[in-house]
Amino acid sequence: MAARRALKAVLVDLNGTLHIEDAAVPGAQEALKRLRGTSVMVRFVTNTTKESKQDLLERLRKLEFEISEDEIFTSLTAARSLVEQKQVRPMLLVDDRALPDFKGIQTNDPNAVVIGLAPEHFHYQVLNQAFRLLLDGAPLIAIHKARYYKRKDGLALGPGPFVTALEYATDTPATVVGKPETTFFLEALRSTGCSPEEAVMIGDGNTERQTRRKSALLPTSLARASRRPWITSCSTCCEPLWQRNREQLETRSGWVPHRGKIF
Amino acid sequence: MAAWAKRLAGVRGVLLDISGVLYDSGEGGGTPIDGSVEAVARLKRSQLKVRFCTNESQKSRGELVRLLRRLGFDISEDEVTAPAPAACQILKERGLRPHLLIHDGVRPEFDQIDTSNPNCVVMADAGDDFSYRNMNQAFQLLMELERPVLISLGKGRYYKETSGLMLDVGAYMKALEYACGIEAEVVGKPSPEFFRSALQAMGLEAHQAVMIGDDIVGDVGGAQQCGMRALQVRTGKFRPSDEHHPEVQADGYVDNLAEAVDLLLQHAHE
């Protein structure tokens, strides 16, 4: 008989689940309030390379969601977390708007490289600086490896190609920290003190679909050829959990996931 | 010493890499590596055939040779095998009109090439011209082509300048390959065609030639794959870990070109 584990933490995807752009998903505010009435810990997760937690918080509060800053976990948070764990001083090749999320992190005399979507930094001189650090043994942390994104004037190179360039030049792989990498989810859970078996992820299936389609598009998800082991095990052990607790969860929170998909 | 005699027996010609073997590029053109000017002179005076086999793609052959002669080297344009001319040959054969992702210094090599209405991208060591904007332009073009063709002059990871190590064309080639989901065609070392054309120009068979380079994979590995022997110098981009490369074992490791030439003149007999 399968061991019964209590559901202790819920990770909620932001874009597509709680809100779509600047509009709340109908019923989501109410659902969240009711979820709060339970004992589960909640974390709001999202991939972003240029919105700081403050920016997200403001947007969500405007939509009347009751959320505190330390409940938000972004790919930038994941990067910061890794930097703190490794106790390194990063060269930050990230959008200026992401800098607040690295406040308090030492960046003088860097011995690590953090790279996000930051076209203004992807010039030869800057990348060469990063390259020399990496060749000396500095770790390379990539927020994600998107191949390109859509701009008004057409497609534009994402961080992925430049991460690849540095990986090739130094013959060392980057640590990618954004969704749907395993690292991302484990880091998001770390602050709840819960294990993956005690948690469930509520998302709109965007990541799942894009994972299967090997899409290269931003803004919310990464392209991966195969599902990360964590997601699989979470969904296989949490599927039954979810089915069992679904009623409970639905009754308590009235939560109906956007598009009805859970993974 | 017997080991060297054995290793270098039958060598009748030498292929010399330029950057990292003859000189390091950089401020004011660059600095010759100690002993290299004299080494080249000695080789020229010997019975051995000499050819220069370079992946230099920031400068035209003319500019490169003028620079090296200023530094004291005995070298002329017709002794140099370089990737741009080889690429032009390919473009003409296949009716390709390139969008050029290059440094202005090498543009003269493409003067005879039709670059209107491009149907491919040719990339070289563009150095500072590897701006985000220029990379993006090349990327957008490739994405619009029904059959994207990306030709890269070399695929080196990095090279040495006097100020330090510099990202090379290979890194940017990988960037575009990843972005577009395509594979580039490499013209230059370590492509076998490139080495063979150098051998042909010397009128030698592979087993009669030895390559001297600073790139353990591009120069040494590439040459060995063609049936040549190859010596690794400890100048230029060389790093100590290169002596324990998991895949490539050079036929010999020497401090610099001067030492290589000493050994060649002692042990390579006709």
> For the segment B227-239, what is each residue's pLDDT rounded down to a tens digit?
999 999 999 999 9
- Quick check: is A1 in a domain? no
A136 and A121, same domain (yes or no): yes
Name the domain boundary from A127, A150, A176: A176
A162 and A212, same domain (yes or no): no
Tokens of A216: 């290269």
Edge to edge, the sheet with strand A41-46 lists A72-74, A41-46, A9-13, A199-202
- Quick check: is A76 in a domain? no
| Reported confidence tier of residue A205, pLDDT bands at 50, 70, 90 | low
In this structure, whether the domain defined by B83-187 belongs to CATH 3.30.365.10 is answered with no
Residue recorded with tokens 């292929």: B15
A154 and A93, same domain (yes or no): yes
| B242: pLDDT strictly greater than 80 | yes
| A222: pLDDT strictly greater than 50 | no
Amino acid at A89: R
Average the pLDDT over A26-38 and give the result.
85
For chain A, the domain total comes to 2
| B251: pLDDT strictly greater than 90 | yes
> CATH 3.40.50.1000 occupies which residues in chain B?
2-82+189-267, 83-187
Name the domain boundary from A153, A176, A199: A176
Domain with A20, as residue range(s), is 9-47+179-252
Is there a contact between B58 and B64 (Cβ–Cβ < 8 Å)? no
Tokens of B256: 């610099």
Q: Do B129 and A124 touch (CB under 8 A)?
A: yes
Of A127, A147, A160, the CB nearest to B167: A127
What integer pLDDT is reported at residue A190 of this predicted model? 87
A84 compared with A205, residue with greater pLDDT = A84
Average the pLDDT over A30-41 and give the result.
87
| Reported confidence tier of residue B54, pLDDT bands at 50, 70, 90 | very high
What integer pLDDT is reported at residue B137 of this predicted model? 98
Mean pLDDT of chain A: 77
| B105: pLDDT strictly greater than 80 | yes
Q: Do B140 and A155 touch (CB under 8 A)?
A: yes
B160 compared with A262, residue with greater pLDDT = B160
| Reported confidence tier of residue A4, pLDDT bands at 50, 70, 90 | low
- Quick check: is A248 in a domain? yes
Q: Do A135 and B170 touch (CB under 8 A)?
A: no
Any idea what the CATH number is for the domain that residue A95 is in? 3.40.50.1000
Judged by average pLDDT, the poorest of A225-239, A243-257, B173-187, B188-202 is: A225-239
Q: CB within 8 A of B144, min separation 6: which ones?
A: none
| Reported confidence tier of residue B226, pLDDT bands at 50, 70, 90 | very high
What integer pLDDT is reported at residue B90 of this predicted model? 97
A150 and A214, same domain (yes or no): no
| B2: pLDDT strictly greater than 90 | no
| B66: pLDDT strictly greater than 70 | yes
| Reported confidence tier of residue A195, pLDDT bands at 50, 70, 90 | confident
**Highest-scoring range by mean pLDDT, A237-246, A248-257, B54-63:** B54-63
- Quick check: is A189 in a domain? yes
Residue recorded with tokens 């230099």: B56
Strands B29-32 and B23-26: antiparallel
Average the pLDDT over A173-192 and give the result.
89
What integer pLDDT is reported at residue B269 of this predicted model? 63
- Quick check: is A56 in a domain? no
Any idea what the CATH number is for the domain that residue A223 is in? 3.40.50
| A132: pLDDT strictly greater than 70 | yes
What's the CA angle centered on A145, arms A141 and A149, to 5 degrees? 135
Q: Output the DSSP codes for chain A.
A: -PPP----EEEEETBTTTEETTEEPTTHHHHHHHHHTSS-EEEEEE--SS--HHHHHHHHHHTT----GGGEEEHHHHHHHHHHHHT--EEEES-GGGGGGGTT---SS--EEEE-S-GGG-SHHHHHHHHHHHHTT--EEES----EEEETTEEEE-HHHHHHHHHHHHT---EE-STTSHHHHHHHHHTTT--GGGEEEE--SHHHHHHHHT----SS----SS--HHHHHHHHHHHHHHHHHHHHHHHHH----GGG---
Of B131, B174, B179, the CB nearest to A124: B131
Q: Do B130 and A123 touch (CB under 8 A)?
A: yes
Tell me which chain A residues have a C-beta less than 8 angstroms from the C-beta of B168: 169
What integer pLDDT is reported at residue A49 of this predicted model? 78
**For B128-155, what is each residue's pLDDT tens digit?**
999 999 999 999 999 999 999 999 999 9
Judged by average pLDDT, the poorest of A92-96, A97-101, A213-217 is: A213-217
Interface predicted TM-score (ipTM): 0.94
The Cα–Cα gap between A258 and A26 comes to 9
What integer pLDDT is reported at residue B48 of this predicted model? 97
Q: Do A157 and B127 touch (CB under 8 A)?
A: no
A158 and A235, same domain (yes or no): no
* Dihedral (CA of B256, B259, B265, B266) sign: negative
What integer pLDDT is reported at residue A218 of this predicted model? 23
For the domain B2-82+189-267, what is the CATH superfamily, name and number? HAD superfamily/HAD-like (3.40.50.1000)
Whole-prediction pTM: 0.84
What integer pLDDT is reported at residue A41 of this predicted model? 92
Name the domain boundary from A150, A176, A202: A176
What integer pLDDT is reported at residue A5 of this predicted model? 64
Chain mean position to CA A26: 23
Of A128, A164, A171, the CB nearest to B167: A128
A158 and A213, same domain (yes or no): no
